């Protein structure tokens, strides 16, 4: 499909991240990823093995991301494709009834975590003057529903952050806010319940999403795109 690339995925230990990791590896690309579950990360490393690299990193912790970026760039170089996929959704509730801790966690992972990863990986990509950055947005980054105001706020923020980032990057580099579509994941089930089963599983989604991601080009930069499921 294309020459081997270094593909970095945050939130790699479950859901879309895990499904993408296996599909990119199947296509011959080197996957570097992080997640917060030590058990899940160890299991993924065992399943995919070298040259893929998986680390326990909390993207909300800037120093952890900094240390991880230094290790990755020294070992394999800057990523060719950076996928900011890690995200949380709030417990469904009206905003005025939401616990402050739940609100803060969604903001910290979905916005600050993305900024931390960009801060510590994109400088090396810019120095090389090549690379694609995909920040995962959502349908709820372009419209809204009741009960998910914090999640909507973060994904609307990702849309603006990414489109501005695209304007900062040197010519030839790419930054895209991506709506992955509606996929049957634990996150979706927390909102949709059993109705989530009416949508594609993450592994089925990855069959379409990974080739789509590999096909992104300079003319796509700054455009809010959606995976064509």
In a domain, 201, yes or no: yes
- Domain range for 178 is 6-226
- Quick one: which H or E segment has residue 174? strand 174-179
Question: Residue 17: which residues within 8 A CB-CB, separation 6 or more?
Answer: 9, 10, 11, 33, 35, 83, 85, 86
Q: How many domains does the chain contain in total?
A: 1
Our measurement of the distance from residue 140's CA atom to the centroid of its chain's CA atoms, rounded to an integer in Å, reads: 15
In a domain, 118, yes or no: yes
pLDDT for position 184:
80
Of 145, 175, 144, 146, which Cα lies nearest the Cα of 160? 175
- Quick one: which H or E segment has residue 83? strand 81-84
Q: Active site residue: 151, 153, 173, 176, which one?
A: 151
pLDDT for position 57:
98
pLDDT for position 105:
98
Average pLDDT over residues 128-154: 97
199 is catalytic: no
pLDDT in tens, 28-81: 999 999 999 999 999 999 999 999 999 999 999 999 999 999 999 999 999 999
pLDDT for position 165:
98
In a domain, 202, yes or no: yes
**Model pTM?**
0.96
In a domain, 116, yes or no: yes
Tell me the pLDDT of the chain averaged across its residues. Answer: 96
Q: Measure the CA–CA gap between 41 and 58, rounded to whole angstroms.
A: 12
In a domain, 1, yes or no: no
pLDDT in tens, 150-189: 999 999 999 999 999 999 999 999 999 999 999 988 888 8
Q: ∠64-65-68 over CA atoms, to 5°? A: 85
pLDDT in tens, 215-224: 999 999 999 9
In a domain, 131, yes or no: yes
Our measurement of the distance from residue 163's CA atom to the centroid of its chain's CA atoms, rounded to an integer in Å, reads: 16
Statement: residue 1 has pLDDT above 90: no
CATH of the domain at 164: 3.40.50.720
In a domain, 163, yes or no: yes
């Amino acid at each position: 499909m294309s020459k081997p690339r270094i593909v970095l995925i945050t939130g790699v230990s479950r859901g879309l991240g895990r499904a993408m990791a296996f599909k990119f590896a199947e296509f011959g690309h080197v996957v570097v990823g992080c997640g917060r579950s030590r058990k899940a990360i160890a299991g993924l490393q065992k399943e995919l093995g070298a040259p893929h690299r998986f680390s326990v990193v909390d993207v909300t912790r800037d120093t952890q991301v900094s240390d991880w970026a230094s290790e990755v760039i020294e070992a394999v170089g800057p990523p060719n494709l950076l996928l900011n996929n890690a995200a949380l959704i709030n417990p469904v509730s009206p905003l005025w009834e939401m616990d402050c801790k739940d609100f803060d966690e969604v903001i910290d992972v979905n916005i600050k975590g993305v900024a931390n990863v960009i801060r510590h990986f994109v400088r090396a990509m810019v120095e090389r003057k090549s690379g694609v950055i995909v920040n995962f947005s959502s349908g709820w980054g372009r419209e809204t529903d009741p009960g998910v105001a914090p999640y909507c706020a973060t994904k609307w923020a990702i849309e603006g952050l990414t489109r501005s980032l695209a304007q900062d990057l040197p010519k030839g580099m790419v930054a895209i806010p991506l709506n992955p579509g509606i996929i049957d994941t634990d996150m979706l089930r927390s909102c949709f319940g059993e109705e989530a089963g009416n949508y594609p599983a993450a592994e089925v989604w990855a069959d379409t999403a990974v080739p789509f991601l590999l096909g992104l080009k300079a003319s796509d930069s700054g455009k809010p795109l959606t995976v064509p499921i």
